[in-house]
Structure 1
């Protein structure tokens, strides 16, 4: 994906950059991502409740009778899950409606045209929609602030310690890049705090969702979201499984209107977007949160971070080392498709080789879009460091 920018200073539409129709692969990726949001409702009903009803009716009649009685009322629970899917689908389809225009994708008005494009949607696309909708819980609900405080809090604290005493004009001159920006919350928070922030994201699913929440949500608490309905395992109660949250917890557009265009989002592969000479020395800070382990080749990431920072610039990192391409081949990139995975100890040895001095380290235990009420929790002992370009 070549680089494009989402202008989020006023009406936050795609301002300029790539046109997905110019490249067949880009076109297919964009269209399949877009239409997967439209198909969320149908796929969720089919996978979460329809197949369970079929399985239920294949049980012995005595077992069906028992499960239909109070207090279990299994079929009633499936009806409640269907209602929750409908709430989530309102968000998913709102993303679909706004993303077509923002990303320059024509939406056919005829039934046959829509059906033809829907066939491009893959199971992986639908999985990404489910995970992206769930991610709104982490980034844009009041309840998700617990995770945000652990993961984004150290970044915000470091920025404040270093630059908090600056006047508003000088503070606005501190340019912060957030690679792997996802749904845009960290970059948004940095801009609201008075800095100039740019989020960078590669995934169309994430870009379409962040474009909607930043640009097209009309008020705080606009949508009811049920983030934990995608699985029926390890729930302590039906209430926990179905519990709703409201998103967004703030109205992003209203707050961004006060930032004097200090916030933007770019759509590109991180390396191709920021390793070139035109990006050299364009940021004072690079903040990576749950990001560096997305690298097939960490050396290329380190080269890119060094390139984009000014002399003496600061790299703030928080996250684990869940190497994303450990079990499958990475996508083809300009520098090739080689990859490697190394330990934390080895990462810390590699960093100085690229001209960084680590000046602060810490740790933080956190889940990632975790359900704190579940019988099963996954926790990362994430690593935090601050490194200066020397």
Structure 2
């Protein structure tokens, strides 16, 4: 909540840092830059679009306060105390990542990435978990998606049929806040407009690619639609009471987030019922300070030692 609430200040501070650095450019170089590309206008262009993002961030905060039963006064007290002791401002990067995940999961711009990854999981579910008779939908199949982020994959799975009972899990509070908001916004008839690329100016082909707007379309629902159940928290700790509970666990861009990958593998194995399936899509792009950095071959060998039996797909 703090990071979303302070987004305009922290994102604006990053643009101000860029502008302060530009002051170091020699005057004769500035004349060339201003004459040819009007570089100085980029700062105000970015700030005006940060205001648009900030309006969405405030809506996310307001929804989060209501959902978690937190008062604005309580948040203000927390922010003041936290800002006294924090070495860095509220985590702007968390908000930036949440905005980019919105693009992946709920925008036309994110469709190529969805199309490159989602079908592997969707097709496996369709082929392996065929619908039972209509009168036994309530039994159906239990599917768990750890590392569910903004819930786009979970939503697409839910469209496969009411026989699939979906639980999602996400550790990041920023992702959970954004998901809680966007999954409640399906009544909107107009898209949500954001500018998700304002704070990183590297690797840009054009300036317009940094400043461009992206349209988000919240997930549409129909009467009787049952949304996935979100369990917030650490995947390895949040489901200890559900041993042998799930028919399938699907992981997308997830297993490389582990500090200890073996803990993930053991948790997945223990949560699956006998004969249950784990389907995984994603790279092994390890984050900061993981205890293990296994190759694909090593992941397979260790998973087999845990008890998995791999099938050709």
Task: Provide the TM-score with structure 1 as the length reference.
Answer: 0.72
Higher strand share: 1
Q: Does 1:304 align with 2:273?
A: no
Structure-2 residue corresponding to 1:215? 184
| One of 132, 139, 142 as aligned partner of 1:175 | 142
Alignment of 1:264-343 (within 5 A): 264-274=229-239, 276=240, 278-325=241-288, 327=289, 339-343=291-295
Q: Aligned to 2:56, which of 74, 91, 113?
A: 91
Q: Is the 8 A contact 1:178 1:287 kept in 2?
A: yes
C-alpha offsets along residues 139-186 of structure 1, whole Å, 9 cap, x if unaligned? 121110111111222000111122345455556611110001111111
The equivalent of 1:373 in structure 2 is: none
Aligned to 1:37: 4
Give the 3-state SS of the residue equivalent to 2:229 in structure 1.
strand
> 1:24 corresponds to which residue?
none
Deviation string, structure 1 residues 303-348 (Cα, Å, up to 9, x no partner)? 21122212211111111112335x36xxxxxxxxxx3332211111
CA distance in 2, matches of 1:256, 1:313: 30
Partner of 2:159: 192
Look up the SS of the partner of 1:143 in the other structure: helix
Q: CA deviation at 1:350?
A: 1.4
- Give secondary structure in 2 for the equivalent of 1:348: helix
Corresponding residue number in structure 1 for 2:71: 106
CA distance in 1, matches of 2:107, 2:134: 28
CA distance, structure 1, for counterparts of residue 103 and residue 284 of structure 2 = 23
* Structure 1 SS opposite 2:312: strand
On the 8 A contact 1:129/1:205 being kept in 2, the answer is yes
Contact 2:158 2:166 in 1 (8 A): yes
Question: Of the candidates 360, 364, 373, which is equivalent to residue 312 of structure 2?
Answer: 360
* 3-state SS in 1 of match to 2:69: coil
Secondary structure of the corresponding residue to residue 197 of structure 1 = strand
Deviation of the 1:215 alpha carbon: 1.7
Task: Give SS of 2:179's match.
Answer: helix
After superposition, the C-alpha distances for 1:95-143 in whole angstroms (9 at most, x for unaligned) are 1111122223332189777534554664472221122212211112111
Q: Secondary structure at the match of 1:359?
A: coil
Q: Secondary structure, in 3 states, of the residue corresponding to 2:200?
A: coil
Q: Is the 8 A contact 2:3 2:91 kept in 1?
A: yes
| Partner Cα separation in structure 2 for residue 120 and residue 98 of structure 1 | 27
**Contact map agreement 1:108 1:114 (CA 8 A) in 2:** no
SS in 2 for 1:229: coil
Superposed displacement of residue 241, structure 1: 1.8
Unaligned runs of 5+ in 2: none
- Other structure's SS at 2:126 match: helix
Partner SS, residue 279 of structure 1: coil
Q: Secondary structure at the match of 2:275?
A: strand
Cα distance in 2 for partners of 1:183, 1:358 equals 29
Relative distance call for 1:294 and 1:112 in structure 2 (3 A) is closer
Question: What is the number of equivalent residue pairs in this alignment?
Answer: 309
